[in-house]
Amino acid sequence: MAEQLPRWTDWARELQALAQAGLEYSPDPYDRERFQRIREIAAEMVSEGSGLPLERVKDLFCGESGYQTPKLDTRAAIFQGDAILLVQERDGRWALPGGWVDEDQSVASNTVKEVREEAGLEAEPLRLIAVQDRNLRNPTPYLYGVCKVFVLCRALGGQFQPNLETLSSGYFPLDQLPPLAVEKTTAEQIALCFAARQDPNWLVPFD
């Protein structure tokens, strides 16, 4: 079970979301001023409670426009025999290849893109494994919602190339996993990928 953020962070998130929607849809300039101030208060709450500099909080927490929705994160599950592909992050820990869905990408195309960028492989998406609420499943909850989408893929060829995001790649059995970047990929999520691969009638779990 992922750790829980303090209750005040829920209030700050709600204030930020309401303010962002108000800034997007309100035609009244005076109301827009009020919504902007509510957004600033939400950022100040987070800064005060977390100890992060206010400008850093604004960059992370108040940098978007439009109606606020969760971000999408795709993760690819690629197997070789009884081992799964992992990539080594810059800090030395390992994760399933993946990342944020770009605005011009679908879940499928973004999964392919991330595998190419992080593991040097061309991949074919086969089927969904799971859709999870990141803040329920991974430690260190974020101050915004994230939907993690796990996709079973098949490698079509290629090889690892040094890049800005990852140091290495490799295939690991479930009982021999390296140290994981658990904010991105947990052992439980990898086990879920193994289970989905072995079940042709897999029913996709979702949060």
Q: What is the pLDDT of residue 68?
A: 75
Q: What is the pLDDT of residue 3?
A: 63
pLDDT in tens, 96-132: 999 999 989 999 999 999 999 999 999 999 999 999 9
Binned average pLDDT, 10 residues per bin, the chain of 207 residues: 72 86 86 89 86 81 76 97 97 97 94 97 97 92 88 96 92 98 97 96 96
How is the chain split into domains, by residue range?
7-61, 71-198
pTM reported for the whole predicted model: 0.79
Q: What is the pLDDT of residue 61?
A: 74
23 vs 29, 33, 62, 92, 190, CA distance in Å?
9, 8, 12, 41, 40
Q: Which residue has the tokens 């300039």?
A: 29
Q: What is the pLDDT of residue 2?
A: 56
**Statement: 71-198 belongs to CATH 3.40.50.2300:** no
